[in-house]
């Protein structure tokens, strides 16, 4: 009833191929847009910006990048954290070597470097598949983190080996560094993440996306119908690493403010991989749902005992939190092994035929 699609006729190819051909979907998106564009930023506290809104979007973007590679093109990767690091260090070097550079341009360009590195480490994918490829990308993970530690030029020979984000301005207002307001950073992140998401939706619907899906589903068959596997796999690596690199630059420049090499170590790769898997491989929306569950939920859970007035020590809260989030992950994977995105898809289908299921 609420989600009735009957009667929504499409009379042109253009309207049939619209991003959201169903009216209710567009309406829902409008509500979400209203929230993220106006209601959240106007009501959120500094705490909400720094621990929920900004990180959820950045992690979702990183997971989206990984999803292009793993979910759409079927190439398993464990090197996401390191590729994020490449983006972050590239951005840092660009803004320190060329201080006149617009930081937003630097962030968008930093993805180019990680795309290059990603393609380099993607070359083995032409010969190996599945778990074997995962091991090859794991090598990238170890090698790159080692490089971030040893190559002192990358962190400008800083004695502590960490990078610090300088205060940078765009049109006279601070966007990075400690002087920047959270709300400005929020809108910058929102803009870039929205842009990347649009790009990904369109890419995965188009020719390239179909090539990737064919490669994922059966590469021999794909090759037989004339798909160039090398091109398909390497473009997936390039585009995925580009998005991951931009996410890495945002991660350090728009959120953390400082980073040491081991930040980009394997736990970060796993976290992004979990977001992608729990959200649903081969989906765009799933990345956001996964990021909300993995990044946003623990923060909210941490606040619960204090708001209820329960006197539990903070260490205990942390233990409980780990247990609750862990069991939620298991629960969601049992209920819907294909991720939160699939769960939403089923709910939506049920809504369409409700209240008269056949």
Q: Collapse the DSSP code of 258 into the 3-class scheme (helix H, G, I; strand E, B; otherwise coil) and give the result.
A: strand
Closer to other proteins by CB, 231 or 319: give it.
319
Interface with other proteins (CB under 8 A), residue from 36, 164, 183, 348: 164
Give the shortest CB-243-to-other proteins separation in angstroms: 21
Cβ atoms of residues 44 and 57 within 8 Å: no
The answer to the question of residue 257 lying near other proteins (CB under 8 A) is yes
Give the shortest CB-269-to-other proteins separation in angstroms: 14
Lookup: tokens for 47 = 């705490």
Lookup: tokens for 313 = 């020590």
Stretch that binds other proteins, among 7-15, 25-33, 42-50, 333-341 (CB under 8 A): 42-50
User: How far is residue 50 CA from its own chain's centroid?
Assistant: 17
Interface with other proteins (CB under 8 A), residue from 6, 159, 224, 334: 159
Interface with other proteins (CB under 8 A), residue from 58, 253, 265, 286: 265
Per-residue exposure over 301-326, b if at least 16 CB sit within 10 Å of its own CB, e if not: beeebeeeeeeeeeeebeeebeeeee
Interface with other proteins (CB under 8 A), residue from 258, 300, 346, 347: 258
Strands 168-170 and 258-259, bridge-based pairing: unpaired
User: Which helix (DSSP H) or strand (DSSP E) does residue 259 occupy?
Assistant: strand 258-259
Stretch that binds other proteins, among 15-23, 103-111, 162-170, 205-213 (CB under 8 A): 162-170
Give the shortest CB-226-to-other proteins separation in angstroms: 45
The answer to the question of residue 263 lying near other proteins (CB under 8 A) is yes
Give the shortest CB-154-to-other proteins separation in angstroms: 14
Category of 166 on φ-ψ map: left (φ > 0), alpha (ψ -120 to 50) or beta: beta
Closer to other proteins by CB, 225 or 315: give it.
315
Closer to other proteins by CB, 24 or 50: give it.
50
Give the shortest CB-314-to-other proteins separation in angstroms: 4
Stretch that binds other proteins, among 118-126, 175-183, 202-210, 347-355 (CB under 8 A): 175-183
The answer to the question of residue 46 lying near other proteins (CB under 8 A) is yes
Cβ atoms of residues 268 and 81 within 8 Å: yes
The answer to the question of residue 166 lying near other proteins (CB under 8 A) is yes
| Residue 75, CA distances (Å) to 1, 129, 158, 231 in order | 40, 7, 37, 13
Give the shortest CB-329-to-other proteins separation in angstroms: 18
Lookup: tokens for 187 = 């809108």
Cβ atoms of residues 193 and 284 within 8 Å: no
Per CB under 8 A, contacts with other proteins among 302-341 are: 302, 313-315, 317-319
- Helical residues (DSSP H) of the chain, grouped into ranges: 13-16, 23-34, 40-43, 46-48, 54-67, 80-97, 103-122, 130-150, 182-205, 207-217, 219-224, 229-250, 266-279, 285-291, 297-308, 314-335, 340-353
Distance CA 284, CA 246 (A): 17
Interface with other proteins (CB under 8 A), residue from 160, 220, 224, 308: 160
* Burial of 111 (C-beta count, 10 Å sphere; 0-12/13-18/19+): buried
Interface with other proteins (CB under 8 A), residue from 26, 105, 126, 162: 162
Give the shortest CB-216-to-other proteins separation in angstroms: 32
Question: Number of residues in contact with other proteins, rule: CB under 8 A?
Answer: 32
Closer to other proteins by CB, 319 or 350: give it.
319
Return the bridge partners of 174, or none: 169
Stretch that binds other proteins, among 1-9, 36-44, 195-203, 252-260 (CB under 8 A): 252-260
Q: Interface residues with other proteins (CB under 8 A)?
A: 46-47, 50-51, 96, 149, 156, 159-162, 164, 166-167, 177-179, 256-258, 260, 262-263, 265, 299, 302, 313-315, 317-319
């Amino acid at each position: 009833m609420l989600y009735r699609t009957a009667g929504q006729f499409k009379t042109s190819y253009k309207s049939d191929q619209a991003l959201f051909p169903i009216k209710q979907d567009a309406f829902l998106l409008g509500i979400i847009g209203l929230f993220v564009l106006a209601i959240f930023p106007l009501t959120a506290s500094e705490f909400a910006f720094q621990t929920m809104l900004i990180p959820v979007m950045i992690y979702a973007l990183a997971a989206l990048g990984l999803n292009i590679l793993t979910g759409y093109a079927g190439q398993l990767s464990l090197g996401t954290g390191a590729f994020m690091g490449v983006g972050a260090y590239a951005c840092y070097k660009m803004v320190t070597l060329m201080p006149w550079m617009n930081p937003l341009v630097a962030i968008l360009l930093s993805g180019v470097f990680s795309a290059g590195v990603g393609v380099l480490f993607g070359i083995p994918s032409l010969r190996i598949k599945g778990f074997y490829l995962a091991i090859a990308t794991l090598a990238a993970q170890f090698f790159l983190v080692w490089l971030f530690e040893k190559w002192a030029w990358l962190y400008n020979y800083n004695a502590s080996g960490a990078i610090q984000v300088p205060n940078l301005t765009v049109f006279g207002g601070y966007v990075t560094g400690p002087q920047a307001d959270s709300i400005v950073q929020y809108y910058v992140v929102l803009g870039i993440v929205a842009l990347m998401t649009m790009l990904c939706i369109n890419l995965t619907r188009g020719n390239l996306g179909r090539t990737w899906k064919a490669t994922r589903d059966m590469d021999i068959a794909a090759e037989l119908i004339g798909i160039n596997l090398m091109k398909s796999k390497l473009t997936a690596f390039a585009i995925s690493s580009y998005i991951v690199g931009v996410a890495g630059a945002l991660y350090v420049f728009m959120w953390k403010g400082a980073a040491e090499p081991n930040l980009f170590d394997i736990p970060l790769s796993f976290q992004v991989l979990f977001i992608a898997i729990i959200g649903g491989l081969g989906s765009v929306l799933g990345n956001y749902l996964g990021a909300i569950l993995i990044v946003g939920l623990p923060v909210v859970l941490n606040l619960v005992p204090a708001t209820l007035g329960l006197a539990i020590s903070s260490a205990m809260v942390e233990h409980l939190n780990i247990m609750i989030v862990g069991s939620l992950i298991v629960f969601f994977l049992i209920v819907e092994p294909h991720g939160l995105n699939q769960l939403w898809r089923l709910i939506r289908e049920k809504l369409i035929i409700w209240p008269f299921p056949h």
